[in-house]
Structure 1
Amino acid sequence: MAFDVLPGLGSPMRRLEDPRLLTGGGRYMADAAAPHALQAVFLRSPHAHARIVAIDAAEARAMPGVATIITAADTATLGHNPAVTEIKDPAGRRHIEPPRLPIARDRVRHVGEIVAMVAAETLAQARDAAEAIMVEYDPLPAVVRGDDALRPDAPLVHDEAPGNLVCDWHKGDARAVDAAFAAAAHVARVAFRSPRILAGYIEPRGALAQWQAGCVTLTTPSQGVHLLHRILCDHILKIPREALRVVTEDVGGGFGPKLPPYPEQALSVFAAMRLERDVRWVQDRTEHHLADTHARDLVAEAALALDADGRFTAIRVEGVANFGAYVSTVNPTIPTGGMAKVITGLYAIPAAHLHLRCAFTHTAPVDAVRGAGKPEALVLLERLVDQAARETGRDPVALRRLNLIPRAAFPYATALGYRYDSGDYAALMDAVLTRTDAAGYAARRDASRAKGLRRGRGFACHLHGSGGWGTETSGVTILPDGTVEARTGTQSQGQGHATAYAQILAARLGLDPALIRIVQGDSDRIPRGGGTGGSSSTIISGATMTRAADTLIEQGRDAAAEALEAAPIDIAFEAGAYIIAGTDRRITLPDLARRLGGMKASADFADTVETWPTGIAIAEVEVDPETGAVTLDRFAAAIDAGLVVNPLLLGGQLHGGYAAGIGQALMEDARYDEDGQMQAATLMDYAMPRAGDFPDLDWISVPTPSPNNILGIKGVGELPTNGAPAAIANAVIDALAADGVTHIELPMTPARVWAALAARR
């Protein structure tokens, strides 16, 4: 596909939305006005696994201000919250998916599962009433680790899933892999348990359901209103779509967990319809930790086969993915297809096979969080490469160079059937080595040693396969006053959509970006959209708005010809105006719109969602052997995100993404004890990175345009998170290799690092 480089694209324009947001003009969930709304509180299970013997809400119902108490007996007509993706075993059987209902009926399956809802005039009254509800539980044994759940004696999570098995999933050519391993000159192996992590967004979730004349408007922070609207209407509430409007205003971070529908949203709408009153719920931080979808939670073993020259010939992965208590919205394809997309990395590996067993446990459901199956896959791969280099006496940079896919090989078909669109991986390696002063590394290592510290350097060749749903119709309207309104079905959660999309449209239409307003997050005003996920928003909306703009320009040609008293064939469009070719006679697009009383056009997504952004990151750490403390001293990356719309926005995405990955590598751990109680239910117990934990994050763009969309761009939001954990893990092991340490589980906390060193002593 040909792509267009438009004037104005690639310039570092500051964010158009920032003046409003930085001066208190944001409209977040808690800002939505509803002065007479009932306040909702959800009573949640304190047990990971228990039978619900009885619920007595009589005393609570009689308390002051209580409008209603809703239990499973009241929600018998409500339906299941389904997954929208699926996986199948080698026999073609779909994954097992027991019903996930808004309120637990006979049994609770994770701490934090809802057993009742209270709506009262004030929040204090609702909390008091929730505490007065008497629930009799019969506690049952729980299992929290995926591999433990698949043992024959493990407690059963669902009767519908014998042995707690969601699906036994395979991908790749097992025979080719077996043959390659049999002929290998060397085989490197690693085992790895990926910690469970949380999204940690600044703004927790919430819901405001406003009833008016038989219709409810649900205002809720989301990553796209259309998926939520469809599932709530068609599957859970079972109401006509015109009976519900879903609105999302500003969103204080999403990262994946604000994409799925949740019980609180459905129950808020249900209560509003039942009471014919507005109902508001705002989540607290502990509810976020207990009830929102988590991520990662994989245990796996991986092996890499090499020939005598050091070329990679095959990779094999065996793992168990913990799905939690239910199958969440897109999770079936997260640890499976998400891993498969990237497990061969930037390398020409001719054979690959993955075998993932997916398990139910008594923990919160798992789903997509920034990276969606790829950070843990790339830790496996990049640890394997370093292990192979160490065991065969090769330089880790030279071994990577030897196996990088050459630029001439693109588009490149991987062993698992994916088609990488474009890239120049050798150029990325050259750029990042220059950026990090590779020549000076030995001197820095010696200086650290002189201080009693260990310095290590770690590499991560990483990539992302952008995904999401291309069910988008973008509309562009030039109003009579000359301003532009563009409608999109994707949803910003802080990425800067209002700037990126305005910049793309301004370049196409030849207008000032400040004249362009982006409209999102309204199921009534926007015909359809797949929402934001999979690092695909600018691919989907940017490309589709471009096509809508082209249609609008073409539609105006006859009217411009009439205004200029010329034949349409003589009319050209340049720099925001229609001109008569070869003359100075012109009419601007805003002037034509005023003459016509407005102009509008729309377009459906017609490109390919999938692109393959890539990067090579290098981390340098210092480790204090006396305390186990790890200090990230340097971090740099070379990035290929295709043609760049706005380097300031790209830099923001990279900084945030690498920070998330560094947090996963060094401190984040949403752990449960053996009884299923979360040990990280507050931010006192769940460590997240702060500014002081990072050096300056340095990056350079080395772009190759994608042929998969009209703009040549690639999705980038998750790419940095995919690479950072592997770079950090390799750097720490490199620092401690001389001490005999070859493996430390993530997160590499001081306690774990110190214990690994102590064991070698």
Structure 2
Amino acid sequence: MAFDVLPGLGQPLRRLEDPRLLTGGGRFTTDVAAPGALHAVFVRSPHAHARILDVDASAARVLPGVVAVFTAAETASLGHNPAVTEIRDAAGARHIEPPRLPIPADRVRHVGEIVAMVVAETPHAARDGAEAVAVDYDPLPAVVRGDDALEPGAPLIHAQAPDNLCCLWQKGDAEAVDTAFAGAAQIARVSYRSPRILAGYLEIRAALAQWQDGRVTLTTPSQGVHLLHRVLCDHILHWPRDRLRVVTPDVGGGFGPKLPPYPEQALACFAAWELQRDVRWVQDRSEHHLADTHARDLVAEASLALDAEGHFLAVRVEGVANFGAFVSTVNPTIPTSGMAKVLGGLYHIPSMHIALRCAFSNTAPVDAVRGAGKPEALLLLERLVDVAARDAGRDPVALRRLNLLPRDAYPYRTALGYRYDSGDPAALLDAVLELGDAAGFAARRQASAARGLRRGRGVACHLHGSGGWGDETSMVEVQADGRITARTGTQSQGQGHATAYAQVLAAAFGVDAAQVEIIQGDSDRIPRGGGTGGSSSTIISGTTLSRAAAAAIEDGLPAAAEMLEAAAADVAWANGAYEIAGTDRRVTLAAVAERQGGLRGQADFEGTVETWPAGIAWCEVEVDPETGQVVLDRFAAAIDAGTVVNPVLLAGQLQGGWAAGIGQALSEDACYDAEGQMLAATLMDYAMPRAAELPDFRHAVLPVPSPNNALGIKGVGELPTNGAPAAVANAVADALEGAHVELPMTPQRVWHALRQV
């Protein structure tokens, strides 16, 4: 039967989950009651690189309250935590992936790596036990920067990876790029060392492993229970899948690092099974900084070739991506294809080539954080455009306009082979110039100068290629009382899934969204799901739930026909009810559900998760030349997110994403010293953006629906983070008359750059 889910979408509905969350009704992992649960504390390496000569737990094991101490000797049966994506070099060889065990037996490779687990009756007893574990280390030389790790004579991290090289990855036509550069009238060049950043989620990680009748239930914050369940059972614990259930309740932020399986989750399950007791672990903030996956950490040089009229001819990028001590879950494709996806920006660039050397170092593993490779690529590209404009005496906005893709160029295949589905960059540019009052910039600059301040403007064209896994099954049930329950395999970490999905189903069934309950996060209750990542949740679950709703409506058709005393062929679904075509005879969804004892529908995701949301940001800053302080005065953006399910949720995603990108640009730096000690192990030393430091955000929405899915949705969660760092960097450089400042652009770095102007 024909079924249209689009009417009713796009309404600014307030989040349905907020009353519960804001009145103390949230249920996060640490809220789950487990009377009598044991408490786990991990002994972590203070060294970035060292041989483990001995781990003596004898004193800890006899302390009051200590139940067990697990070391590499006791966990020798546990397996490797593998990456689930891969990259290959030009010869087709897969990236090198040394085993990552929950507790290493012979060597630690970054500060914070686990060497023992203490389980006790109370948290205090567990901490006392951890302090009593004596570890004899033989410290080794460490290397923390990726490019330093590839230098001859650098300390070797893994025997399996000669010269610390994980993979040499490249994409594009190097010969065509060389030819374009040889004939170029102008070449612009930039180089950047992108700092490491942390997720900084409000809810730090935790794990509760509960043993009952030969089965373990793991409750833990995650971005999808099924990946965690599969990797734990198949690769680390070596358990049959029916031995483990994974549950994720409410999650207080994910941003990427709650996607990978971690040693603590596996060890909590292992301990619960061995002791036949419940085991609880709760992370502290320093453990998040030391041991959760980091992001970015790229050093790269980029070049842009232009002809005499300013048309872009080619882009070349060469760099080193620091993978950290191990290959994390999806990291192989983050600084490689993640960058390559958006390297062409919103421009027509005939030739491109990117070559990256991926390196091991004595630092925490790197993986996806909001943006996942795209902010680094767009920073390079958008800085290149501004440098090219300044060098040639061109207006940076006019140079962009000259090279923007026209709407009729879509679908557009880039020189690196990616197919952009739809868009209208010129319309975005017009909108953001009006929204940011570009015409008034000169007057504002003059007013700033009168106060002794330097004002700069920055423009950044940006986009995102949504990703993730589409192995999703969604189920919808219309209860006999008319309530609707839906189960789906993506996982909300604050994005508002309970509202967005309810709106999709409300539009499908013609009911109020408050009648809809969304269930996520349970490997027993949901058959499969790829989880949430890559800005694709609404693409995956929204479209699949709409098809499951259609199946549920179809399920009620025979009963509706019977109630209407008509042939099923004469009954159609319209306006939220079953009706006989051409008459006023109709029966409601709730009545049919009551008659049949409930209606059920199920659907598997079909199609592609890929969409290409886009935006153009306008940023203005004021720089104090006496102190180097950067103040954001205004930030505006024009956004194409395809079909908008809920503009309130969209605004929230945009504002959070801009804040994250601004933090990367101005303050965040998860840096190490030369010996591998983390210099930002607490929030006293890691500067996240604060509300007082952010401007009022303004945005305009100019949707061009995606043809890649039935609802026309484009993933938006990472889009603003991709564009904000480049916009801010261009604005600061403009204020400094083109001077280069490394990220984060702290007052000290800006002050030093001013001395060079």
TMscore range, shorter length: over 0.9
User: Given that residues 3 and 712 in structure 1 are in contact (C-alpha distance below 8 angstroms), is that contact kept between their aligned partners in structure 2?
Assistant: no
2:67 match: 67
Q: Distance in 2 between matches of 1:106 and 1:484?
A: 54
User: Given that residues 236 and 266 in structure 1 are in contact (C-alpha distance below 8 angstroms), is that contact kept between their aligned partners in structure 2?
Assistant: yes
2:261 match: 261
Q: Distance in 2 between matches of 1:616 and 1:716?
A: 13
Q: Distance in 2 between matches of 1:115 and 1:630?
A: 43
2:586 match: 586
Measured at CA, do residues 565 and 4 of structure 1 come closer, stay the same or move farther in structure 2, by a change above 3 Å?
Answer: closer
Matched, 1:749 2:746: yes
User: Given that residues 556 and 596 in structure 2 are in contact (C-alpha distance below 8 angstroms), is that contact kept between their aligned partners in structure 1?
Assistant: no
User: Given that residues 81 and 235 in structure 2 are in contact (C-alpha distance below 8 angstroms), is that contact kept between their aligned partners in structure 1?
Assistant: yes
Matched residue of 1:387: which SS?
Answer: helix
1:477 match: 477
2:667 match: 667
One-letter code aligned to 1:680: A
Matches within 5 A, 1:564-603: 564-603=564-603
One-letter code aligned to 2:521: G
User: Given that residues 619 and 634 in structure 2 are in contact (C-alpha distance below 8 angstroms), is that contact kept between their aligned partners in structure 1?
Assistant: yes
Matched, 1:351 2:343: no
Q: Distance in 1 between matches of 2:69 and 2:555?
A: 56
1:552 match: 552
Measured at CA, do residues 243 and 690 of structure 1 come closer, stay the same or move farther in structure 2, by a change above 3 Å?
Answer: same
Q: Distance in 2 between matches of 1:527 and 1:467?
A: 21
User: Given that residues 429 and 638 in structure 2 are in contact (C-alpha distance below 8 angstroms), is that contact kept between their aligned partners in structure 1?
Assistant: yes
Q: Distance in 1 between matches of 2:299 and 2:482?
A: 57
User: Given that residues 348 and 405 in structure 1 are in contact (C-alpha distance below 8 angstroms), is that contact kept between their aligned partners in structure 2?
Assistant: yes
Q: Distance in 1 between matches of 2:590 and 2:238?
A: 45
Matches within 5 A, 1:117-516: 117-516=117-516
2:617 match: 617
Measured at CA, do residues 426 and 3 of structure 1 come closer, stay the same or move farther in structure 2, by a change above 3 Å?
Answer: farther
Matched residue of 1:218: which SS?
Answer: strand
Q: Distance in 2 between matches of 1:703 and 1:607?
A: 21
Matched residue of 1:358: which SS?
Answer: strand
Q: Distance in 2 between matches of 1:506 and 1:364?
A: 44
Q: Distance in 1 between matches of 2:293 and 2:426?
A: 38
Shift of 1:6: 1.9
Q: Distance in 2 between matches of 1:722 and 1:624?
A: 26
Measured at CA, do residues 153 and 46 of structure 1 come closer, stay the same or move farther in structure 2, by a change above 3 Å?
Answer: same
Shift of 1:558: 1.9
Matched residue of 2:155: which SS?
Answer: coil
Alpha-carbon deviations, 1:175-222, whole Å to 9, x = none? 110010001010000000000000000000000000000000000000
Q: Distance in 1 between matches of 2:755 and 2:175?
A: 42
Question: Structure 1 stretch 3-12 or stretch 615-624: which is displaced more?
Answer: 3-12
Shift of 1:5: 6.3
User: Given that residues 559 and 595 in structure 2 are in contact (C-alpha distance below 8 angstroms), is that contact kept between their aligned partners in structure 1?
Assistant: no
Q: Distance in 1 between matches of 2:607 and 2:88?
A: 28
2:88 match: 88
Shift of 1:575: 2.1
Matched residue of 2:422: which SS?
Answer: coil
Measured at CA, do residues 253 and 392 of structure 1 come closer, stay the same or move farther in structure 2, by a change above 3 Å?
Answer: same
User: Given that residues 3 and 709 in structure 1 are in contact (C-alpha distance below 8 angstroms), is that contact kept between their aligned partners in structure 2?
Assistant: no
User: Given that residues 3 and 550 in structure 2 are in contact (C-alpha distance below 8 angstroms), is that contact kept between their aligned partners in structure 1?
Assistant: no
One-letter code aligned to 1:103: I
One-letter code aligned to 2:546: T
Alpha-carbon deviations, 1:639-677, whole Å to 9, x = none? 000010000000000000000000000000000000000
Q: Distance in 2 between matches of 1:102 and 1:481?
A: 48
Q: Share of identical aligned residues, percent?
A: 75
Q: Distance in 2 between matches of 1:459 and 1:759?
A: 24
Q: Distance in 2 between matches of 1:309 and 1:524?
A: 61
Shift of 1:8: 1.7
Shift of 1:742: 2.1
One-letter code aligned to 2:418: Y
1:103 match: 103
One-letter code aligned to 1:598: G
Matched residue of 1:722: which SS?
Answer: helix
Shift of 1:554: 1.9
One-letter code aligned to 2:24: G
Q: Distance in 2 between matches of 1:410 and 1:377?
A: 22
User: Given that residues 543 and 607 in structure 1 are in contact (C-alpha distance below 8 angstroms), is that contact kept between their aligned partners in structure 2?
Assistant: no
Shift of 1:695: 1.0
Q: Distance in 1 between matches of 2:75 and 2:750?
A: 50
Shift of 1:4: 5.5
Matched residue of 2:308: which SS?
Answer: coil
TM-score scaled by length of structure 2: 0.99
Q: Distance in 2 between matches of 1:575 and 1:116?
A: 62
| Structure 2 runs not aligned, ≥5 long | none
Q: Distance in 2 between matches of 1:614 and 1:198?
A: 25
Superposed CA RMSD: 0.9
Q: Distance in 2 between matches of 1:251 and 1:102?
A: 24
Shift of 1:757: 1.2
Shift of 1:158: 0.3
Matched residue of 1:356: which SS?
Answer: strand
Measured at CA, do residues 680 and 701 of structure 1 come closer, stay the same or move farther in structure 2, by a change above 3 Å?
Answer: same
Q: Distance in 1 between matches of 2:105 and 2:350?
A: 50
Q: Distance in 2 between matches of 1:558 and 1:39?
A: 55
Matched residue of 1:633: which SS?
Answer: strand
User: Given that residues 5 and 507 in structure 2 are in contact (C-alpha distance below 8 angstroms), is that contact kept between their aligned partners in structure 1?
Assistant: no
Q: Distance in 2 between matches of 1:756 and 1:186?
A: 25
| Structure 1 runs not aligned, ≥5 long | none
Matched residue of 2:394: which SS?
Answer: coil
One-letter code aligned to 1:237: L
Matches within 5 A, 1:701-720: 701-720=701-720
Matched residue of 1:553: which SS?
Answer: helix
One-letter code aligned to 2:156: L
Alpha-carbon deviations, 1:470-508, whole Å to 9, x = none? 000000001111101100000000000000000001001
User: Given that residues 10 and 644 in structure 1 are in contact (C-alpha distance below 8 angstroms), is that contact kept between their aligned partners in structure 2?
Assistant: yes
Matched, 1:58 2:23: no
User: Given that residues 209 and 218 in structure 1 are in contact (C-alpha distance below 8 angstroms), is that contact kept between their aligned partners in structure 2?
Assistant: yes
User: Given that residues 295 and 368 in structure 1 are in contact (C-alpha distance below 8 angstroms), is that contact kept between their aligned partners in structure 2?
Assistant: yes
User: Given that residues 548 and 602 in structure 2 are in contact (C-alpha distance below 8 angstroms), is that contact kept between their aligned partners in structure 1?
Assistant: yes
Shift of 1:3: 11
User: Given that residues 3 and 711 in structure 1 are in contact (C-alpha distance below 8 angstroms), is that contact kept between their aligned partners in structure 2?
Assistant: no
Shift of 1:51: 0.4
Q: Distance in 1 between matches of 2:4 and 2:572?
A: 18
One-letter code aligned to 1:754: W
Q: Distance in 1 between matches of 2:702 and 2:6?
A: 19
1:647 match: 647
One-letter code aligned to 2:11: S
One-letter code aligned to 1:206: A
Matches within 5 A, 1:691-706: 691-706=691-706
Matched residue of 1:335: which SS?
Answer: coil
- The count of corresponding residues between Structure 1 and Structure 2 is 756
Matched residue of 1:492: which SS?
Answer: coil
Question: Structure 1 stretch 507-516 or stretch 533-542: which is displaced more?
Answer: 507-516
Q: Distance in 2 between matches of 1:536 and 1:443?
A: 42
Matched, 1:115 2:115: yes
Q: Distance in 1 between matches of 2:43 and 2:220?
A: 20
One-letter code aligned to 2:243: A
One-letter code aligned to 1:408: D
User: Given that residues 199 and 369 in structure 1 are in contact (C-alpha distance below 8 angstroms), is that contact kept between their aligned partners in structure 2?
Assistant: yes
Question: Structure 1 stretch 2-11 or stretch 714-723: which is displaced more?
Answer: 2-11
Shift of 1:7: 2.2
